Amino acid sequence: MASTIHRVPGRPERCPECGSEKIADIIYGYFPSFEEPARRPGERRTILGGCCVTNDDPAWECTSCHARFHPPRGSWPAPPTAD
Ligand SMILES: [Zn+2]
């Protein structure tokens, strides 16, 4: 696996790998009724990262080349609450 970890303080505007602006938010957890909302071109996308969470997961992903972006350690955005 030769994937590079990109540490960024916030959601990047563009993918540093391919230049795409299609950066998706990754959310974690178990969402049995999750349905990805219909999207129009240019809309942000949310993808599920699964329910196995470590302390160092990516928070965003390029939907063009699948490069993943990690926030600096200890600054993960607050997870969604499931209740
Ligand atoms: Zn990319």
57-81 pLDDT per residue, tens: 899 999 999 999 998 876 655 555 5
- Cα 75 to middle of ligand 1, angstroms: 23
Strand partners, 60: 25, 69
Distance separating alpha carbons of residues 14 and 32, to the nearest angstrom: 31
Q: Is residue 58 part of a domain?
A: no
Beta-carbon contacts of residue 22 (< 8 Å; ≥ 6 apart): 15, 45, 62, 63, 64
- Cα 23 to middle of ligand 1, angstroms: 8
Q: What's the pTM?
A: 0.68
- Cα 37 to middle of ligand 1, angstroms: 22
Distance separating alpha carbons of residues 19 and 55, to the nearest angstrom: 27
Helix (H) or strand (E) holding 23: strand 23-27
Q: Is residue 19 part of a domain?
A: yes
- Cα 71 to middle of ligand 1, angstroms: 17
Using one digit for the tens of pLDDT, what is the confidence trace for 6-59? 999 899 999 999 999 999 998 877 666 666 655 566 667 778 777 777 777 899
Domain range for 8 is 1-34+42-53+64-75
- Cα 57 to middle of ligand 1, angstroms: 17
And the tokens for 78?
A: 């607050």
> Domain total for the chain?
1
